[in-house]
Amino acid sequence: MVVLADGSTKWLKDTQVGEFIWTMPSDGTQIYLTEVMMIANTQRNTTALFYTIETETSHKLSLSPDHLIRVKHFDYLPAEQLTLNHSLFVVMKDGSIHSSRIRTINQEYKTGVYNLFTLDGTALVNYIAASIIHILMVDLDRII
């Protein structure tokens, strides 16, 4: 779920272009609002492999293997390269920002593939700092 400007949450699949959602910069020092510019990759009936990550603070997120996520000391890594030695940036209920070590990583097939694009390329999803970028997008950008 993404966190909207008013603090409420919304499923990624229900997010609308023009809404403002909370995000976090690469340094993990603050949160701020960014605009949803486009909804892409809306495949409600597609079943795909996901990495479901849970942190020691019980924050949980499911990502495609090539989806990039902000990792403490490593900038961004694809989900398939994450290990239990990595820590993610999370926002706690009181609004404070912490790094939280990954407790579990499970591979599972889920139905429904969604992605959105924000003005700055990041989003706070389930209160975890995430990128909206996939490795495929990065590679295509280099080719063009």
Report the domain count for the chain: 1
Rounded CA-CA distance 107/5 in Å is 31
CATH number of the domain residue 77 falls in? 2.170.16.10
pLDDT digits (tens, 9 = 90+) for 34-90: 999 988 767 778 888 999 999 999 999 999 998 889 899 878 899 999 999 999 999
Closest CA to 4 of 96, 108, 113, 116: 116
pLDDT digits (tens, 9 = 90+) for 25-45: 777 788 999 999 988 767 778
Q: Spell out a b/e string for 45-72, using b for 16 or more CB atoms within 10 Å of the CB, else e.
A: eeeeebbebebbbebebbbbbbbbbbbe
| DSSP structural state of residue 15 | -
Amino acid residing at 50:
F
Q: What does the pLDDT read at residue 135?
A: 57
* Average predicted confidence (pLDDT) for the chain: 86
Q: What does the pLDDT read at residue 131?
A: 86
The parent domain of residue 67 ranges over 2-143
pLDDT digits (tens, 9 = 90+) for 106-141: 999 998 887 888 888 888 999 999 887 765 544 444
